[in-house]
Amino acid sequence: MSVRILALVGSLRAGSHNRQLAEAAVQHAPEGVEIVIHEGLAEIPFYNEDIDVEGDVPAAAAKLREAAGSADAFLLFSPEYNGTVTAVLKNAIDWLSRPYGASGFAGKPVGVVGTAYGQFGGLWSQDEARKSVGIAGGVVVEDAKLSVPGSVVRFAELHPKDDAEVVEQLPLVLARIAEAVNAAPVA
């Protein structure tokens, strides 16, 4: 069975190392795993229940929900801003957590990885993302983790797809998510 994983990248910066890490996931995905990087998180307005009206949801948010509906699982790429998750990633989680009782994450495996400048590779933000997505209904795959420290120096001239640790560890993370999909009870 092929597994479709929707990748949400929490950085909008051109040349984002987390975006590059997502590109590495596409390139190094194990056989039977398809990674789809969602485009358009920048266009989604901040979550506001007043604009989350059935039949009139903002187009970018509706597109995200549609992509989530066709995904078997999720992989969040979380940089760390001021010790926590970025607004763009948190906003995507918020939109997918609604409408109440119909979360796009409901019952689907979710892994969280990332890279950051600091010595811990964004661990705090990744932990916050795991907490938030778990509350939103996702099934957090606790051993689907990868925190890559020192991104600014480490990836100054080297794309993550060519980094030995990334090449070794990222396929293992993806395999763990795929195993969680395949182990889930059939509804």
Residues of the chain with pLDDT under 70: 1, 184-187
Q: What is the pLDDT of residue 100?
A: 87
> Which value, to the nearest 10 degrees, does the dihedral of the CA atoms of residues 138, 144, 146, 147 take?
40
Burial class (CB in 10 A: 0-12, 13-18, 19+), 63: middle
Residue 33's CATH number: 3.40.50.360
In whole angstroms, give the CA distance from residue 107 to residue 119: 33
Q: What is the pLDDT of residue 187?
A: 53
State the sign of the Cα–Cα–Cα–Cα dihedral 62, 145, 159, 178. negative
Q: What is the pLDDT of residue 44?
A: 98
Q: What is the pLDDT of residue 186?
A: 57
Number of domains in the chain: 1
Which tokens hold the place of 5? 């994983």
Per-residue model confidence as pLDDT tens digits over 149-175: 889 889 988 899 999 999 999 999 999
Helix, strand, coil tally for the chain in percent (to 5): 40, 20, 40
Which tokens hold the place of 10? 């929490």
Tell me the residue range of the domain where 78 lies: 3-183
Query: Which helix H or strand E contains 33, and what residues bound it?
Result: strand 33-37
